[in-house]
C-alpha cells in the first residue's frame, strides 16, 4: 500500500471501531509499520472516530517525528512491539469497556485474562496476559509487553494481544483488518465471561486439541 492508502486505512479502521463502541472520546491509538522503515501513528488525544489522514504522525524508526500532528503518548509501546514481533505490521490499542472492566474486577489469571470458553477465542485470539498498571505511556509497560512477546515466542505459543490493567487491550497483527478482528473477538469474549459472572466452563483439553489438529490453534 502507498502512504496515502495506509493513512486512509487507519482512518477507516478508527471510524469503524468508534462507530461500534470499541473506543470512545480520545481514547486509543493505531499505528502501521512502513515498508521503508518508521511508521504512521495516530496523534495524541485524537478521536479515532474523526481522524484526518494528513494529521497522522509519521515517525522514523528511532521515534523522531517527521510530519503530522504530535504522535500518541504510547509511541514507545508501539516501537517495542514492532521490535519484539517482526511479523507485526500494525498495532491497535483501545479502552474497550468490557476488557477494562475485567482488568479492574479481576482476570482469570495473569497469563490468561479469560479462559478458553469459545472455539473462536482459542483459534483467533489465543493466550492474552495482563500487564500491571502504570501511568499511560510508561516506558516500563512497553518493556513488559516486549518481554511477554519474547517469552511467548520461546514457549512456542506466540501471543497477538495483551491487556493493560485499567487501560485496555493492545493487539498487533499482519494487517489492520486482522488486528481489528482479534480485538473484537477478545472484547466479545470478555463480555461473555463477565455475563456468566466469570463462571463459564472452559473448553476441555480434548476440545482444544481438536482445534489444534483441525485449525492449527495456538493454545
- Show which residues are catalytic: 120
d(CA 181, CA 188): 11
Contact 127, 114 (CB under 8 A): no
Distance of CA 47 to the CA centre of its chain: 17
Rg (CA), the chain: 17
Dihedral of CA 3/138/93/179: which sign? positive
Nearest to residue 57, comparing CAs of 88, 36, 34, 82? 34
Work out the number of other CB atoms within 10 angstroms of the CB of residue 98. 21
d(CA 97, CA 147): 26
Contact 125, 61 (CB under 8 A): no
Residues facing residue 29 across a β-bridge: 93
Where b means 16+ CB within 10 Å and e means fewer, 67-93 reads ebbebbebbbbbbbbbebbeebbbbbb
Amino acid at each position: 500500500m502507498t502512504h496515502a492508502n495506509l493513512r486512509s486505512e487507519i482512518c477507516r479502521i478508527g471510524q469503524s471501531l468508534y462507530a461500534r463502541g470499541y473506543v470512545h472520546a480520545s481514547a486509543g491509538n493505531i499505528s502501521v509499520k512502513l515498508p521503508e522503515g518508521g511508521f504512521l501513528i495516530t496523534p495524541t488525544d485524537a478521536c479515532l472516530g474523526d481522524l484526518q489522514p494528513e494529521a497522522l504522525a509519521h515517525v522514523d524508526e528511532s521515534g523522531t517525528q517527521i510530519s503530522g500532528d504530535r504522535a500518541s503518548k504510547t509511541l514507545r509501546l508501539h516501537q517495542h512491539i514492532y521490535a519484539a514481533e517482526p511479523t507485526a505490521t500494525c498495532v491497535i490499542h483501545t479502552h474497550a469497556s468490557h476488557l477494562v472492566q475485567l482488568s479492574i474486577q479481576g482476570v482469570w489469571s495473569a497469563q490468561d485474562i479469560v479462559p478458553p470458553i469459545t472455539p473462536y477465542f482459542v483459534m483467533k485470539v489465543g493466550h492474552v496476559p495482563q500487564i500491571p498498571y502504570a501511568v499511560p505511556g510508561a516506558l516500563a509497560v512497553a518493556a513488559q509487553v516486549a518481554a511477554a512477546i519474547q517469552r511467548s515466542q520461546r514457549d512456542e505459543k506466540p501471543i497477538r494481544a495483551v491487556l493493560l490493567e485499567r487501560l485496555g487491550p493492545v493487539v498487533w497483527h499482519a494487517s489492520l483488518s486482522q488486528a481489528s478482528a482479534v480485538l473484537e473477538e477478545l472484547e466479545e469474549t470478555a463480555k461473555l465471561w463477565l455475563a456468566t459472572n466469570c463462571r463459564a466452563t472452559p473448553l476441555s483439553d480434548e476440545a482444544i486439541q481438536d482445534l489444534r489438529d483441525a485449525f492449527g490453534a495456538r493454545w
